[in-house]
Every structure is written in structure tokens, then in C-alpha cells.
Chain A
Amino acid sequence: MKIELTVNGVARTLELPPLLRLLDVLRGPLGLTGTKEGCGEGECGTCAVLLDGEPVNACLVPIGQCDGRAVVTVEGLAVDGAPGALGRAMAEHGGAQCGICTPGMMISAEALLVARPAPSAGEVRHALGGTLCRCTGYERIVDSVLRAAAERRGAGEVGP
């Protein structure tokens, strides 16, 4: 099947069996290994990407569903390859330890911050509720997201 989509703002045309998982297409032919696989069955959220701005678990999405749509991965949250406000906050305030959940966390957080630039801690926990982290206890992730939100409000930065 011919699939046309944009990935991190770049238009791509792929010829692939429609049932391939979006996760495998990202990590394989598209070479975007920032998106991780923690369970392969929609439970851990480490594979989260934005599909038309909504967070989805890429391990559950067949590539055939992505025709004509826009996908953003963790690589797409960087600004010229460098961390944006959210990434910097995660790296500097304890939001990332081993880092394997970080791409999924950042995607969920990004979706939240676009919708609600000034979320409460409770809202952050809800938004991140579908992404597991085994390292941090979540406290510093919540803190990082709140700091990023504040910085983005101050800087007037909007998401990609």
C-alpha cells in the first residue's frame, strides 16, 4: 500500500503492507529509534507519538491508518537537534533517569502543554498516567513538566 504522511514535518511516501505497526516503520525504514518499545501491547506508553497532535501508542497503530496524517516523534520535539524547553527541563530536573520512558513521557507532556499551557500537578499526572516509568517515582517528571510549562509561557514558545 502506498502511504503518504508527514513525519516530524517532513513529507514521506512509503510503500508498505498496511498492517505493519507504526512503531516498526518509525524504528525501521524511517530510522527514528527515539520511539521505544516497552511492551508491544499498549500498556507502557514508551512508544507514544503524536498522530495529528494526539498521543497514541505507536505499537497499536497500523501504518495503513497513517495515510494523509502527521506523525511527531521525540526527535521532532527537538529544536535543530537540541532539546527544547521540555527536554531541557527533563534533563536538568531529574525527569529522565535511564531515559527509556522519556520519549513517551515527553510526547504525552507535549500534548498536554499544547492543550493546557498552565496545567496543575494533578493534570500532569493524568496526562502521564498512561506512560510507565520504573526509575523516577514520577515526582521529578511532574516537576520537570511544570517547569517546562512555566518556561514556555514565559518564552511564549508553542509546541511544534
Chain B
Amino acid sequence: MSSSEVRREHVGRSVGRVDGAAKVTGRALYVDDLPARPGELHGAAVRSPVARGLLRSIELDPAFDWSDVTVVRAEDVPDNVVALLVDDQPVLARTRVNHAYEPVVLLACADRGKLERAVAAVRLELEPEPAVLELEAALAAETVISGPDNVQSRYLITKGAADVEAEDRVAASRAAIERALAGCEVVVSGRYSCHHQEHLYLEPNGMVAWWDADGLHATGSIQCPYYVQKGLCRGLRLPAERVHVTQAVTGGGFGGKEEYPTMLALHAALLAQKSGRPVRMVYGRREDIEATTKRHPAVCEVTTGCDRDGTLRVLSLRALYDAGAYVTLTPVVLSRGVLHAGGVYAWRDARIEGLSLATNTPPSGAFRGFGAPQTLWAIERHVDRVARELGRDPAELKRQNLLRVGDSTPTGQVLRGSVGLAECVTAALEASGYRDKRAAPPRVVGRKARGIGCSVVLHGAGFTGSGERRLQGKVAVDLRPGGRLCIRTASTDIGQGTETVFAQIVADAAGVGLADVDFATPCTTHVPDSGPTVASRTVMVVGSIVERAAQKVAARVRAEQAAAGGSFAAAGDRLLAREGAVSALEQYEPPGWVAWDDARYKGDAYPAFAFACDVAEVEVDLDTFEVRVVGFWCAADVGRAVNPVMCKGQLEGGALQAIGWALTEEVVWRDGRILNPRLTNYIVPTALDAPPFETFLVEAPFEHGPGGGAKGIGELPMDGGAPAVAAAIEHATGLVLDGLPLTPERLLAASLARGEVKP
């Protein structure tokens, strides 16, 4: 079927959530709602109180009654490794701890109260060692905790003048980019930093594990069932067919349930194995904030060169990412960071270097945006700075330099199409009244000053470079009795609407009704490995093979209908009676033109980019320096909106996370421990803090996207919020802030530095 023949009755319409009724009646079962299995125990972890040290001994208080408590230590773990990219992270610390809250001992008990007392009755004898707690300290490498110099992974992207062949590419490209900068009319430098962010999905991490004749079962709040299965196979030395991982209804993830649940599943499974009973582990909020991953803090040093007329020419950027104590997914996060570091601009010459460094903080991990918000914060703030130097309006300078079809990114990727950037900028600036608000001096009423600012960002959809080709994501669509179709995929719905959007795609591809499409519970035993639910890949990548699989199954039924008549349902039932099973298994293959060189970091980093322009209007209290976002406009090029309301919901929810990151969300550390692991003092925006959002969908279709051109947009909205807010604060107050978060303390400090406020 060619795409022109596809009738679009469902795609493009804001149908309600297919899982909506269950969620609004309280029927949906999240992991902690699952009924207790017979004999079930609760599990808990005993964690390190120090950031770094040698583990001398573990003592169980002899006065405590341990008779009904299961105890698991490192020596009980068949293969003490959390399988991710590198085998550096243990399931339980054995001889040393590398970050506060690192798990050391596991306990299980039927009585929750007793379990808590048991945790307190375990004494860890630790000999503290000097810890590295900040990026700067890691870079200085006076204390070395990883490799020769704490550097854990490294990337270099070069383009134009910086793209030199040399033995030492790092040094030669640096010299080359400096020469290119020296030839520019206007050279501007800046340094931009950003901080940890807690995911704060409202449902904490949770898992139930049990063993039976089929092997090990783990059901939990997860994004990636196959990641968990891989980790369980490795840590427990089990073949995949003995490990059954199922997703419960999941209360938000944002990356925080990408790699972390593997650890939790291992803990629950080990306790279940040793006790011979089912084990449930559901974190309280405090443990969830303390022990799980966070967004990588980063520092970016940027120097650019441009013409006096504002044409951007040369980019030199070095990004440092704080990986935390173990590698987990950091190299991939850093990769996405450097791949987005050029922003939405057409640089002639570019050198982008990225380093991740080990510290003794809990491992940084996947978080919506996955490395891109850090470099985009830097480049957007930096272009604002260039505008200031040139005396130009930042939005106009940005618009002047936008990537267009035919331009190339720093990796040399030539944009072939689906670039709705200029439309996004126009839509957001017009709707927000940016130009008028900006032309007038900032409005000061009483002690409140208003200002407006904008950012323009992009986000690559799918795995980077050759990733999708390696991944070979698969889905199946089955014909079921009564002409129903069932989608089997490991792409999970964690709130973003996968079940609904996939059903819309299938309904149109097969020419059936939405109510005739089912979504199988993601369980590794029953669904193929579609690859992980990450990287804005679910709709664009997995959705495209869902569409194809549905077309294939439907084509078989239609052929049967044509041959022997009857309704779709009747023909389907005849096929099923004859063949037993009718199904299509499809595997993703990136467009043929996608070429990527991993060694030199060159080529087509992503098959498509989504784009957005965000405008924030803020009100700054000139006495307290509190910042309120009073309006937020986002125009996003999504390729094709499969479900406009859900698409806008993604964009708005992501924008509010970005606003929280920018303004109030701050993880406060002391000696590697978190001082504010609670909702009372880790402040996420409420309905009263949130601005009204006006969101506009721009559709520049991607030819290989499903539903007529959808692109991935899950992460895009996390990218532009912080720089837009910072630009608005600058407009309102004249205060230039280059470090997140933009708390009253920092605004005050900037104001003091300017000599305005008496200390």
C-alpha cells in the first residue's frame, strides 16, 4: 500500500487515551497496587553513609532477632555486576563503596516495621577515603578515582577548518579552531554550567520478584523490560528464557526508570531467591531521591566567532559532564550532548569536545533530554551573549543563523528535509508578542519587573548514528478472533501515550476501528525486543514498524476478503481457522542514506530532528529575586502530530520540567550526601507555579515517519525552557546568569556583583 492510499481517520485526531478509563477510575494497577503474592516479603537495602571508603566488615547486631529476616550480601550474588555499558558497577558493594547510598546489604522480612528495625541493626564498618565530589575536582585529578585522570569517556567532533588529519587530532584541531577564531571579526567567550535534576516521577521505583518452575519473574515500574532482563540474566547467571520481566502500569519515568530498575530488580530477585518467597521492593520518596540516578551536571566552555553582521561562523565548545561513581549510560548521554552542542545554527567551522568525569556522587543517568539540555543551555545562553556584544536582539540573531535544508550540522550531516525551524520561530514570536514586549523597556510595576526571552532548539530522534542499526528493534502485530489486531511491543507506555498513539497508527494502517486494536502487556516472554523506550524513538522508529506490521496483517485479511468475501472479521476468522496464527513481525531498518562513522563521529547522527522555539515571559520580584514564569509559548516542528492533544501534553509537561530545572529544582549536597531528599525541600512546580502554556504544532513531515511523517518529540521540550527563562530574566533585570539553577540567591549574587544591592 502506498502512503497516498492510506486513509487517515485516526492519525491526526486527538482521540482519548485508550488506557484512560482505567486510570481515572482507580482500576489501573501500578506495581504497588498488585495484590501481595502468597508469602510475600518486603525488601530493603542497607546503604553506604559515606561517599567513598573501604568496607571493612558488615556486622549484624547479635541482640536483634534475625530468624525471620533474609540477608543478602555481595558474596551471595552469582555475578556481581549491573550489566550496562561497562562492568564497573556492582549489585552490592563488596570491598569498597564509591558513592553515598551505594547498596551494601539486602534484607527481606514479612513485617515492614521489623524490616526497618533490621536495617538499623546492620552496622557497616567503613574506612572513609578522600572523595571527589565536583567536576572541577575531578578534572584537577588531585584525587584519582577512575583511570589515570578521572576522565571516563571522550568525544571529538570537528568540521570545516577544525577537521584536520593529524596523529594528535585533539591538539591539532584545537590549534586549527583557534586560527579560525582569530580570523573572525567578533569573538565571544563564555562558560555555562548546569546542575543535577531529580526526575521526581510521582510513582517511585518499585519491583516485585518471585521464582517458580519457569524461572524468575520480575514485574515493576519500568521503561525497558529487556534492559531489566539482560541485567537479571547476567547478575543471576540465567538464560533469557528463564527470566520473565513484565511492566506494570508505570507512573512516569522520564529516563529515571530506564537503567535504574535493573538494579532494583536484581535486589528483589536475589532476596526472593535466597528466601524462597516473593519479594516486593517499593521505594519511599526519600530513598528514591537519594539512591536513584539524576541528570548529569555539566560545564561548557564556549568560544564563537562571527561576522559583524551577525553571521555565525566558528564554534569551539568543550563540555564536561559529571558521570558520578559508575559509568552506567554516561558515554551515550555525553554523545548526545556533543551532538546537540552546535544548536540550531549553521557553523562553518566547529570543534566540539566532550569529556565525562568520574566523581563520588550517585551515578548520573538517563533523564529526558539525555545530555542535550546541558549543551543547548550553553549554546543558547552563548548566542544571547553574542547578541549583546553585537547590540542585536537575540531572537533576530538566532533567526538569521538558523539551519536550513541543505545546511550541515557539526558532524557534517546535511539536512535533507523536514526542517520547520523558521516556522517555529515565527509562530512562537508572534503568538507571544515577543517583538513588542522586547522593543519596549522591561515593564516594571511596583517591585516586579517583567521580561521576555526566547530559545531555539533541536532534538535528534532515535538512537545516535549506527545505534538503531545495531539495535534491530522489532514489533509484532497479531490477528485475533473477530478481526481484532494486537500490538506486541516492548515499547512501554509510561504516561506519554504509546498505547493510544500506536493504536491510532495501527487502526489507520489496517483500516480498522480504534476499538479493534489491543496492546499486549509488555512482558519479555510475550513481546519482541523493540529496543528501549528512550531517545524519542517510540513513535518515529518503533511506530514506523508498527505501521508496517499492521499493513501486512491487514493486507492478508483483505486478500482473503477479496478471494472469499465476508467482513474483515469473518475473513480474519477464516484465516485464523486455516493457519492457526496470523502475525507480522517487523524489524526496524534506518533509511538507507543514514551513514555514520563512529570512529570519527561524522555523518548522519539522527535520521530526523524535531525543532522548537520556546518563549518565556517572567516576572522578577526585585526585592526577593523570586522569578515567576507568567507565560510560556512553544512552537514545535513535530513532523506530524499523531494525536495533537497528547503531543501538546508532552511538550507542555516537558517544558514545565525544564522550568523547574531552571528555577527551583536544586539537589543540595554535602559530603556527597543529599540534604533535601524530600518533596518539602526539593521543589517541583505546582499548578500555581506553572505558567499558562500556549503550544503550537508545526508539521514538516519526515518522509520515513509513521502516520504521514511523525518525528520523535519526547525529549525536545526539555531542551529550551531553561535558556528561554534565563533570557527573560536578563531582559527583565539586566542580570546575566550563566549557571543554573536561577535561584533568588544567584540572582542576588549577580545583583551584588553589579554593585546594585548593598550587602
Contacts and interface: CB of A to CB of B under 8 A. Distances in A.
Interface of A: 27, 32-41, 43-44, 46, 73-75, 77-78, 81-83, 86-88, 90-94, 96-103, 106, 121, 124-126, 128-142
Given A33-B26, A39-B285, A91-B24, A134 B693 contact: no
Nearest to B253: A98
Nearest to B201: A134
Contacts of B32: 33, 37
Contact of B25 (A75, A97, A133, A140): A75
Nearest to B36: A28
B652 A140 contact: yes
Contacts of A77: 25
A137 B23 CA distance: 18
B203 interface: yes
A40 B653 contact: no
B495 A39 contact: no
A39 B679 contact: yes
B655 A96 contact: no
Given A43-B678, A98-B251, A34 B652 contact: no
Contact of A137 (B204, B251, B690): B690
A99 B251 contact: yes
Contacts of A37: 32
B650 to A, nearest CB: 8
Contact of B252 (A27, A100, A131): A100
B566 interface: no
Contacts of A128: 686-687
B333 interface: no
A41 B204 CA distance: 14
Contacts, number: 185
Contact of B30 (A36, A82, A88, A124): A36
Contacts of A135: 252, 495, 649, 653
Contacts of A40: 284-285
A158 to B, nearest CB: 18
Given A73-B26, A74-B25, A137 B678 contact: no
In the complex, which of the residues A34, A106, A124 has the most CB atoms of chain B within 10 Å of its own CB atom?
A34
B252 A83 contact: no
Nearest to A83: B24
A140 B649 contact: yes
B678 A99 contact: no
A32 B26 contact: yes
A132 B20 contact: no
A136 B686 CA distance: 11
26 contacts: A38-B202, A44-B285, A77-B25, A82-B25, A83-B25, A87-B21, A91-B23, A91-B24, A93-B645, A94-B14, A96-B24, A100-B201, A100-B203, A100-B252, A101-B202, A133-B653, A134-B653, A134-B684, A136-B649, A137-B649, A137-B653, A137-B654, A137-B656, A138-B690, A139-B693, A139-B695
B206 to A, nearest CB: 11
A36 to B, nearest CB: 7
Given A43-B680, A92-B16, A99-B249, A133 B26 contact: no
In the complex, which of the residues A81, A102, A135 has the most CB atoms of chain B within 10 Å of its own CB atom?
A135
Interface in B19-44: 19-30, 32-33
Contacts of B688: 125-126, 129
Smallest CB-CB A-B distances: 6 pairs? A34-B26, A91-B20, A98-B495, A100-B251, A99-B23, A137-B652
Given A91-B20, A99-B495, A139-B690, A132 B679 contact: yes
B17 A91 contact: yes
A129 B249 CA distance: 25
B273 interface: no
Contacts of B693: 137, 139
Contacts of A124: 687
Interface of A is mostly: loop
Contacts of B203: 36, 38, 98, 100
Contacts of A86: 24
Nearest to B24: A87
Contacts of A126: 688
A75 B695 CA distance: 33
Contacts of A121: 692
Nearest to B112: A24
Contact of A132 (B21, B30, B202, B645): B202
Contact of B17 (A44, A96, A130): A96
A132 B690 CA distance: 11
Contacts of A74: 24-26
Interface in B400-435: none
Given A90-B23, A139-B695, 9 more contacts: A35-B26, A81-B27, A92-B20, A94-B646, A96-B24, A97-B653, A129-B687, A134-B199, A138-B652
Contacts of B497: 97
Contacts of B335: none
Contact of B24 (A44, A46, A100, A102): A102
A34 B202 contact: no
A52 to B, nearest CB: 20
Contacts of A38: 202-204, 285, 679
Contacts of B254: 134
B466 interface: no
Contact of A46 (B202, B250, B284, B653): B202
B200 interface: yes
A78 B25 contact: yes
B496 interface: yes
Interface string B245-261: 00001111110000000
B107 to A, nearest CB: 20
A81 B494 CA distance: 24
B210 to A, nearest CB: 19
Contacts of B22: 99
A90 B645 CA distance: 12
A23 B654 CA distance: 30
Contacts of A106: 24
In the complex, which of the residues B654, B657, B680, B690 has the most CB atoms of chain A within 10 Å of its own CB atom?
B690
Given A39-B679, A103-B26, A141 B684 contact: no
A39 B200 CA distance: 10
